[in-house]
Amino acid sequence: MNKIIFATGNAGKMKEIREILQDMNMEILSMKEAGIEADIIEDGKTFEENAMIKAKEIAKYTDEIVLADDSGLEIDYLNKEPGIYSARYMGEDTPYEVKNANLLERLKGVEKDKRTARFVCAIAAVLPNKEVLTTRGTIEGYIGEKPVGKNGFGYDPIFYVEEYGCSTAELSMEQKNELSHRGKALRAVKEELKKQGGYFLTKEQSDKLSGFLLRANGTMNPKIVGRTALKIAEMAGITVPAGTKLLVSEQDPMNVSKKNPYSREKLCPVIAFFTVDGWEAACELSIRILQNEGAGHTMTLHTKNKDVVREFALRKPVSRILVNTPGALGGVGASTGLAPALTLGCGAVGGSATSDNITPMNLINIRRVAWGLCELEDLRKGSPVPKDEPACECGTRTDLTPEDIEAITREIMKRLGAGLGK
């Protein structure tokens, strides 16, 4: 069984983490349970920086997945205190009953509409290959007049949620999950997929289908290409409802690799369902999936936020970004303004000579006749005439040592490797 090491010694936090990750079929261990001891100095300026500091430090002692979080309470009336110092507010050994009482005293007499606050949680993950991922989540609320509830720890008893009219220490774990924007969006997407004929596989069904999709030699099973969801399920030996059009497997965002068939191209109605917090994390995950397989081809994005579209378009290693349209129809130009084509170039990043939609115009040899429109003197107008001497000394250095050359070569390889995602 795979393991996740969580960089904390907080028993209350470990309890919540295990409940959140209980369906992942992974062993969740605290630092202490993993036999790791480390003195970590959290000197970051943001929640994300502190989470990364902890995760990177623990990752030095293990090749397992390491998770770390930095969370805290921001109270607007108190200039977002205690913020990143939430755990150290009034001293790390100070009981939270005392901390909560102090905050309530500082807010004494302050009207409810000025007591707005939020819980912030940033999570950092260090993968076995030492790649670092971060994400952030928030819950909006306000500070109550008194501490109430026992289903939580820390500042939970004084943090109230308008939607439920109670403190987070009074909420069950199910209610906390329902509270998050992620939970609401996740349920809406799942319901729509089911309405369209999607079937969410169980963990056992996903594992069984995975073994059928991916052959022992690491290649995809050609028997699945072009087959219906029902036929693929039958061949894999799993039972799905009649009318199923799409097989959906919920996957861990950190499990993107050639060994995971759900994160690869399948050419059949089987998809992976990844969930992350925020479009920034989705952006990073999309890049990793594309670099794993499919770089240079096509990506579909569903959003009304033009800023998100812009960021995805600037960063994704693809030749076509389709927005709010089916991928197959949009890529070939049927539902978009792209040139109609059934051959889609992947550009240099995908190993192709072009990133165009290949049309008959790409197959015609065009001979162009070009007339001269100006002389060299016309081009030089307003520009200084270069002196009759070498413009640079390129290629004349002789003081480079073998060590210099090796260092330069390694740096070039490093940058190329990073750029190509290798």
For 52, the 3-state DSSP assignment is helix
Whole-angstrom Cα distance, residue 94 to residue 102?
Answer: 11
Residue 356 annotated as catalytic: no
Cα of 298 vs its chain's centroid, Å: 18
How far apart are the two ends of the chain, measured CA to CA in Å?
Answer: 27
Q: Pick the catalytic residue: 70, 252, 277, 356?
A: 70
C-beta separation of 135 from 277 below 8 A: yes
Strands (E), 150-244: 159-161, 166-167, 198-200
β-pair type (318-323, 27-30)? unpaired
DSSP SS3 for 375: coil
Tokens of 386: 């270069």
In terms of Cα–Cα distance, which of 289, 195, 297 is closest to 246? 195
Of 328, 331, 329, the C-alpha closest to 344 is 331
Task: List, in order, residues 6 or more apart from 209 with CB less than 8 Å away.
Answer: 201, 232, 233, 236, 238, 247, 249, 270
Q: Look-up: residue for tokens 């500082």?
A: 106
In angstroms, rounded to a whole number, what is the distance separating the alpha carbons of residues 145 and 108?
A: 8
Please tell me whether the peptide bond between 253 and the residue prior to it is cis, using omega within 30 degrees of 0: no
- Beta strand extents in 205-315 (DSSP E only): 246-251, 270-274, 296-301
Point out the residues that are catalytic: 70
